[in-house]
Amino acid sequence: MFFIFDWDGTLCDSTAKIVSCMHEAARAQRLPALTDAEVQNIIGLGLPEAIQTLYPDLEYDGIEAMRQAYADHFIAADSEPSRLFDNSVDTLEQLLSSGHQIAVATGKSRAGLNRVLESLGMKDVFHATRCSDETASKPHPLMLHELLAELKVPVEEAVMIGDTEFDMEMARRAQMPRIAVDYGAHHISRLTPYEPVLCASDIGDILRLV
């Protein structure tokens, strides 16, 4: 079986850091303050798409300035990487030892994902990864189609694991089974309408499907 994981809020406990850095970037750009809930709502989107959603009146130059400000704050804050959720490493190791393939489909940039995987000693753990700046942002299903094609896996033998509506909608558009986790950026009540095959309170719960 092919397990495709979201990163932020699913494997990595980084939601609070993302929210804080978005607030700092907005202050630096003198943009209107947002609530934590408004920022959490866009976690999972590619960064330009997230900024455009939060500040729909911004034009291209403003989006780029905000994107750079956020990236600067996040890189500084991420000098100490966010911890992985409990059981994340054990779960990935058990999947690999059982012969399953694993991948990441994330709203992070390629540079951002590479940096965190390197810092955590995980750069060779996944069979494949896709980031929003090298394909279409969630909830477009392109990154899932690309991962399936790269590893030559039929969609019915894959599952997407995520914590946001964007993950669930992306998988639904790809006609891929999905697992919702209830500890991430979006409340589980927003994910259950997408008919996940499992709602997990611990990432290790997905081993029930093995």
* Pick from 59, 21, 18, 61: nearest CA to 40: 18
Burial zone of 106 (CB within 10 Å; 0-12 exposed, 13-18 middle, 19+ buried): buried
The answer on 103 and 8 residing in a single domain is yes
- Mean pLDDT for 173-197 is 97
* Residue-by-residue DSSP string for 143-189: HHHHHHHHHT--GGGEEEEESSHHHHHHHHHTT--EEEESSSSS-HH
Among residues 77, 103, 127, the one where a domain terminates is 77
pTM: 0.94
Query: Containing H/E element for 205?
Result: none
The answer on 198 and 136 residing in a single domain is yes
The answer on 198 and 107 residing in a single domain is yes
Per-residue pLDDT reduced to its tens digit, 66-110 = 999 999 999 999 888 899 999 999 999 999 999 999 999 999 999
Angstrom distance (rounded) from CA 174 to CA 49: 20
What average pLDDT does the chain have? Answer: 96
CATH at residue 44? 1.10.150
What residue type is 40 in one-letter code?
Answer: Q
Structural domain including 53 reads 15-77
The answer on 89 and 49 residing in a single domain is no
- pLDDT of residue 209 exceeding 90: no
The answer on 128 and 34 residing in a single domain is no
pLDDT at residue number 161:
98
> Residue 9 — φ and ψ, nearest 5°?
85, -5
The answer on 69 and 118 residing in a single domain is no
